[in-house]
Structure 1
Amino acid sequence: MDIGSAIRQMREQLGLKLEAVAMEAGTDAGNLSRIETGKQKPSIGRLESIARAMNVGVTDLYALIENVRVLPATPPVLRDGDDTSYTDDTQVLRRSFAALDAHHRKLVIEFAKLLNRLQKEETAGRESA
């Protein structure tokens, strides 16, 4: 077993979607798929971010390779939720958000809350008409 196989096995054991783990790890599903199939080797930094996205340690992944019994970790609660479709728009939004400083992130969050409130008001207005 190689590191990619260990990542896939751990991800499936935890019941996590490839797209969700890739998004949390700061990469895309295609890249994570290439890592899991052994077509690409992850850098140490990427391996750490993948493990962190699954809420496990890098040592847990290597323990799988060495065939050492590892207690399953609690699946992480991903910020976007497992039912979220990880479209290109979502990936662009997430990367753009990550590039902002704390002040501008707060502004984006407040703007999103405002848009949600406006959308609810518009929906309620249409339903009452």
Structure 2
Amino acid sequence: MDIGSAIRQTREKLGLKLESVAMEAGFDAGNLSRIENGKQNPSLKRLQSIARAMNVGVTDLYALVENVQVIPARPELHDGDEAPYLSDETRLLRRHLALLDAKHLKLAAEFVKLLNRLQKEENARQETV
């Protein structure tokens, strides 16, 4: 098995779309497709980006290439999240939030709280109709 096959196998096992992994890794789906098909070898930086986009380690990918059994680490969970894999939208949101400084992260949190409150109000209005 080559590294491209390991990437594809991991992505499919996690139920992730090629386009969303490529977007989160910071390049286009065509490049990821060529990597997965063995037509292009990823640089170490690109391989790290792909692994991070899938929330796995580069070592996990190479373990597949070498056919080595690796005990998977428990994915990082927040706020009682028990789902082993996050949705594409959640992963993308986490990536963008990680780029914010403390001031803007606080503003983002306040905005999400406001959205939650507005959603509750809209749902309550719909229930009374």
Q: Same fold (TM over 0.5)?
A: yes
CA contact (8 A) 2:11 2:18 kept: no
Match of 2:103 in 1: 103
Task: Classify 1:26/1:53 alpha carbon distance in 2 versus 1 (closer, same or farther; 3 Å).
Answer: closer
Q: For 1:38-82, what per-residue CA distance to the aligned partner results, in whole angstroms no more than 9, with x for missing partners?
A: 34332212212333444543233223223x322352573688x75
**1:81-110 CA-partner distances (Å, limit 9, x unpaired):** 757465xxx96x666545432210220121
Task: Determine the C-alpha separation between the residues in 2 that align with 1:28 and 1:41.
Answer: 14
* Aligned CA distance change for structure 1 residues 59 and 122 (closer, same or farther; 3 Å): closer
* 1:123 is aligned to 2:123: yes
- Name structure 1 gaps, 5 residues minimum: none
Displacement after TM superposition at 1:25 (Å): 4.9
| Shift in CA distance, 83/104, structure 1 to aligned 2, threshold 3 Å | closer
Counterpart residue number, 2:33: 33
Distance 1:118 1:56, change over 3 A: closer
**CA RMSD of the aligned region, Å?**
3.7
Which runs of structure 2 are paired with 1:4-83 in the superposition (5 Å)?
4-13=4-13, 15-18=14-17, 22=21, 25-27=24-26, 30=29, 31-66=31-66, 68-71=67-70, 73=72, 76=75
Q: How many equivalent pairs are there? A: 122
- Any conservation in 2 of the 1:21–1:54 contact (CA below 8 Å)? no
User: Identity of paired residues, percent?
Assistant: 55
TM-score, structure 2 normalization: 0.64
> Kindly tell me: are residues 109 and 78 of structure 1, through their superposed partners in 2, closer, same or farther at Cα, counting changes over 3 Å?
same
